[in-house]
Amino acid sequence: MITARTVIRAVVALAVTAAGLAALAAASAVRLPWHGANTAALRLSWSAHPERIEVCRALSKAEVEARNEHMRQRVECDGKAATYALRVRVDGALLGDEVVQGGGLRHDRPMHLLQSYAVSPGVRRIQLEFSRRERASDDSLRGAAAVPDADTGIFAGRAAREASERGRLTRAAVPPRLTLDTAITFAPQQVVLVTFDPDGRRLVLRVDTASRRVP
Amino acid sequence: MTTRRLRLARPTLAALDAVANRVYGWRWNPIYQSGTVAVVTLLVLLATGLYLLLVYRLGAPFASVERITQDLWLGRWLRSLHRYASDAFVIAAVVHAWRMLAQRRSWGPRTLAWVSGGVVLAAGLVEAWTGFVMVWDAFAERLAREGARLFDALPIFSEPLSRIFAGEVAVPSAFFFVNLFVHIGLPLGLGVGLWLHVSRLARPTLLPPRTLSWAVVAALTVAAIVWPAPLADAADPLRLAVATPINLATAWWLPWSEQLPPLTVFALATVVALAFLLVPSLTARARTGMLAPSVVDPRLCTGCNQCPQDCPWEAITMVARTDDRPTLVALVDPALCVSCGICAGSCAPMGVGPVGSSGRDQLDAIRLSTVPALRVSSDAPIPSNVVFCCAEAPASHREALRARGALVREVRCAGNLHSSAVELALRGGAPGVMVFACPPRDCAGREGPKWLGERLFNEREAELQPRVDRRRVRVGTMAGGDLRGTLQAFDDFARDVATLAPLPVSGDQDVTQDCVTSADAGGRE
Ligand code: SF4
Ligand code: SF4
């Protein structure tokens, strides 16, 4: 039997349910601040192989012959992966100064860089330097070609192959020094990305459509 | 400290239950049904998710979701329904866990249910996370970045995951594929978790009453149509969004997580997970007195196989006897028994039940206190009716019934009450016996009200003997916040009983023996 009490109860139940659902919907659309309203960012992101710093030594003929035939190498190298210093200046102020090294336990895996710096919107001068920390004299890549023995016998063509492999590794690695010095207009909320272009072997800027380079 | 908090949790829950009972009535109180409501929301998620999956494009995630949202007739509200169902799932699961904790139903044999429930809830949160990321709007990007930031602190990936969102290249489809894979794969794990959650139960109730199920679906659908779920701007790795919408029900952790170092987040998550896992041992109580496991008296057990059928926790098995009687004998596994006492009401010869709560213990208690009180009351102009109610029943209701002249007696659970106790009270001089059970979905013993009704009125073992006038016996529901309903039910019963001719007081000497004889006859059939 429908009584006034039943009706009131149904109305209250509907009202409470509606309020609960409205709260559920409101809780699904709460605005949560994320980045500041008038901010921009300079982001650095790239992956590259570190150079390999090797100390190479040409083996003597006796040393080579003392080895099993399949183990005979004329040049033996001992080395490590290079480390890099990253310096980031915005309008002359040093925002970032850190050491970047390759991944893995021996740091000989590719290095992955991802840094972000908050920047005020406006025209900003960006200076970026990414340079190898080890001295050039540590690098004995060129020494590898200076093998005294003739390229004959089981070594036939090997010197060329080794040189080409070393060249490939050098090209695959990041150059010893990368720089970027430019001025750019940061629009509010804009991210300017600096990345490494492996084909051009240089740092390049990626900006969204709202940005423009200052000539 | 923990115990004090738990003591506070109980009255808080009771107060909330009382409010919900007043608003919806105990039959439709969604808080009683929180566990099953969570299952309904899962089904809604499954149904709406299947549709969304059909129109979702891995290669253009935002564009496909935007297209869904622009479809006013179907896509928009289905997506919103999917969203609100996931919110409702988390809320219902949390309420359910809180209910179990407040009612101290989170330890001992219930440990597996507690732990698996926690895992299901955690999986639900991860599921919501991956679901939001699928949309690939600004909120999705925010969640994805936070996830990547946390994972990057672990020595798992050689390349930081965060670089996916650096903006060097478009976010690869592989990322969305893996995300989708997790989003689809997790529900399978969720299903296993749910199965574990109810695996200890004899007859798990997975869904609420049909009307309530559809009411939940309808309510969420209305919300989805009236307040469509927001879609933020498309994710843009080279734009810094000032703010994003956030879903508080499922991503409440995000504002905190973003402020903390990843390892602190992991440490906090571990602490929360450990605290959750430790709840069963922190809330465990000594298994003595009321909480002692049920025991079987093999001398009384006739091997009728009724108590294994009635036990809601499958804690009783029938095993070979060690004496020369030809029947099997019941055996209670204390590790599975939750001491609900339901078995005590199921045994005609009263050979099983928790210590102090077996049928025989109940008869002793009635002989000791109720029958003498009835003798006194029989001289009064209106003799007292006897009311049996659950020990969990609200004290205010019991007091109000006493004030109306009822002789109120408590049993551990209405399903614990042996039918012979009802008969004994009538033979002892009570004009009528009313048994108040908790609302069925609020029964700590899970099936107390169901078996009580079956035993008193539908001849389920141990049934109320045919000689007992059913007009003098009634079962009611005592729900917090519904004192009016309790008193109304009692007044109606008392009025009906008053119209019946007075019963002669016949003594109680035969009650126990009658039950044994009846069970023996049943066993021989
Ligand atoms: S109900 Fe009683 S008689 Fe029947 S099996 Fe259980 S303990 Fe034995
Ligand atoms: S008290 Fe009886 S019915 Fe309850 S769990 Fe234990 S054995 Fe099963």
The 10s digit of each residue's pLDDT in A93-105 is: 999 999 999 988 8
> Higher pLDDT residue, B50 or A141?
B50
User: In what side-by-side order are the strands of the sheet with A191-197?
Assistant: A111-119, A40-48, A191-197, A202-206
Q: State whether B83 and A208 contact (CB < 8 Å).
A: no
Q: Which residues of A touch B (CB under 8 A)?
A: 9, 12-13, 16-17, 21-22, 24-37, 39-41, 43, 45-47, 103-104, 109-110, 112, 114, 189-193, 195, 206-208
User: Which of B295, B300, B304, B309 most suits a substitution to test ligand 1, by most atoms within 8 Å of the C-beta?
Assistant: B304
Cβ proximity of B240 and A39 under 8 Å: yes
Q: What is the pLDDT of residue A153?
A: 64
For ligand 2, whether the C-beta of B332 sits within 6 Å is yes
The boundaries of every CATH 1.20.810.10 domain in chain B are 33-279
Range A143-149, long-range pairs (CB < 8 A, 24+ positions): A143/A56, A144/A54, A144/A56, A144/A75, A144/A77, A146/A58, A147/A58, A147/A74, A147/A75, A148/A58, A149/A58, A149/A61, A149/A74
Closest to A179 measured CA to CA, from A202, A156, A161: A202
For ligand 2, whether the C-beta of B362 sits within 6 Å is no
How many Cβ atoms from other residues are within 10 Å of residue A30's Cβ?
16
Tell me how close the Cα of B45 comes to any Cα of chain A, in angstroms.
16
> Which tens digits make up the pLDDT trace of A43-88?
999 999 999 887 778 888 888 888 888 887 777 778 889 999 999 9
Q: What is the pLDDT of residue A142?
A: 47
In sequence order, the β-bridge partners of residue A89 are A94, A127
For ligand 1, whether the C-beta of B68 sits within 6 Å is no
Dihedral of CA atoms B173, B179, B180, B181 in degrees, nearest 10, equals 110
User: With 80 as the cut, is the pLDDT of residue B2 above it?
Assistant: no
Dist CA B115 CA B276 (whole Å) = 8
Provide mean pLDDT across the span B287-297.
90
> Which tens digits make up the pLDDT trace of B360-387?
999 999 999 999 999 888 777 778 999 9
Q: What is the pLDDT of residue A137?
A: 60
Minimal Cα distance from B141: which residue of A?
A: A34
- CA atoms lying within 13 Å on the CB side of residue B389: 26
Closest to A184 measured CA to CA, from A125, A136, A134: A125
Residue B295 CA to ligand 1 center (angstroms) comes to: 11
Nearest to B168 among A12, A189, A195 (CB): A195
Dist CA B437 CA B392 (whole Å) = 9
What is the identity of the amino acid at B503? L
User: With 70 as the cut, is the pLDDT of residue B430 above it?
Assistant: yes
Instruction: Show the CA angle centred on residue A157, arms to residues A154 and A163, nearest 5°.
Output: 125
User: With 80 as the cut, is the pLDDT of residue B523 above it?
Assistant: no
Residue B378 exposed, middle or buried by CB count within 10 Å (0-12, 13-18, 19+):
middle
Q: State whether B238 and A190 contact (CB < 8 Å).
A: yes
Cβ proximity of B498 and B432 under 8 Å: no
The ligand placed nearest to the CA atom of residue B297 is 1
Tell me how close the Cα of B222 comes to any Cα of chain A, in angstroms.
9
How many Cβ atoms from other residues are within 10 Å of residue B197's Cβ?
22
Percentage of residues of chain B with pLDDT beyond 70 = 95
Which residues in chain A touch residue B236, judged by CB atoms under 8 angstroms apart?
A: 208
Average pLDDT in chain A? 85
Provide mean pLDDT across the span B381-396.
90
User: With 60 as the cut, is the pLDDT of residue B90 above it?
Assistant: yes
User: With 70 as the cut, is the pLDDT of residue A194 above it?
Assistant: yes
Provide mean pLDDT across the span B217-234.
96
Question: For residue A126, what pLDDT band results from cuts at 50, 70 and 90?
Answer: very high
How many Cβ atoms from other residues are within 10 Å of residue B431's Cβ?
21
- φ/ψ bin of B294: left (φ > 0), alpha (ψ from -120 to 50), beta (otherwise): beta
User: With 50 as the cut, is the pLDDT of residue A144 above it?
Assistant: no
In sequence order, the β-bridge partners of residue A193 are A43, A206
Which residues in chain A touch residue B162, judged by CB atoms under 8 angstroms apart?
A: 114
Superfamily of domain B33-279: Cytochrome Bc1 Complex; Chain C (1.20.810.10)
Residue B422 CA to ligand 1 center (angstroms) comes to: 20
Minimal Cα distance from A188: which residue of B?
A: B240
- Cα distances (Å, whole numbers) of residue A152 to A57, A62, A157, B124: 19, 16, 7, 69
The token duo for B470 is 């059913």
User: Which of B306, B331, B358, B461 most suits a substitution to test ligand 1, by most atoms within 8 Å of the C-beta?
Assistant: B306
Q: State whether A30 and B243 contact (CB < 8 Å).
A: no
User: With 60 as the cut, is the pLDDT of residue B524 above it?
Assistant: no
Q: Whose CA is nearest to atom 2 of ligand 2?
A: B343
Q: What is the pLDDT of residue B375?
A: 86
Range A56-60, long-range pairs (CB < 8 A, 24+ positions): A56/A140, A56/A141, A56/A143, A56/A144, A58/A146, A58/A147, A58/A148, A58/A149
Q: What is the pLDDT of residue B522?
A: 39
Q: State whether B168 and A39 contact (CB < 8 Å).
A: no
For ligand 1, whether the C-beta of B306 sits within 6 Å is yes
Note the pTM of the prediction, 2 decimals. 0.88
Q: What is the pLDDT of residue A165?
A: 79
Which residues in chain B touch residue A189, judged by CB atoms under 8 angstroms apart?
A: 239-242
Closest to B410 measured CA to CA, from B396, B424, B393, B425: B393
Average pLDDT in chain B? 92
Nearest to B167 among A32, A103, A191 (CB): A191
Q: Are strands A111-119 and A191-197 parallel, antiparallel or unpaired?
A: unpaired
Which residues in chain B touch residue A24, judged by CB atoms under 8 angstroms apart?
A: 84, 87-88, 91, 223, 249
Q: What is the pLDDT of residue B63?
A: 96
For ligand 2, whether the C-beta of B354 sits within 6 Å is yes
> Which tens digits make up the pLDDT trace of B100-144?
999 989 999 999 999 999 999 999 999 999 999 999 999 999 999
Radius of gyration from C-alpha coordinates of chain A: 31
The token duo for B244 is 């994003």
Dist CA B337 CA B202 (whole Å) = 12
Cβ proximity of B452 and B318 under 8 Å: no
Q: Which residues 140-159 on chain B approach chain A with CB closer than 8 angstroms?
A: 142, 158-159
Question: For residue B202, what pLDDT band results from cuts at 50, 70 and 90?
Answer: very high
Residue B470 CA to ligand 2 center (angstroms) comes to: 27
Does B88 lie at the interface with A, CB-CB under 8 angstroms?
A: yes
Give just the sign of the alpha carbon dihedral B158, B164, B165, B167. positive
Instruction: Show the CA angle centred on residue A201, arms to residues A198 and A202, nearest 5°.
Output: 110
Q: What is the pLDDT of residue B506?
A: 67
Spell out the residues 6+ positions from residue A119 whose beta carbon is closer than 8 angstroms to its own: A39, A40, A41, A42, A90, A186, A192
Cα B229 to chain centroid distance, Å, stands at 30
Nearest to A104 among B158, B237, B238 (CB): B158
Question: For residue A210, what pLDDT band results from cuts at 50, 70 and 90?
Answer: very low
Axis-axis angle for helices A4-27, B210-226 (nearest 10) = 50
The ligand placed nearest to the CA atom of residue B332 is 2
Q: State whether B168 and A28 contact (CB < 8 Å).
A: no
Dist CA B297 CA B321 (whole Å) = 12
Cα A92 to chain centroid distance, Å, stands at 23
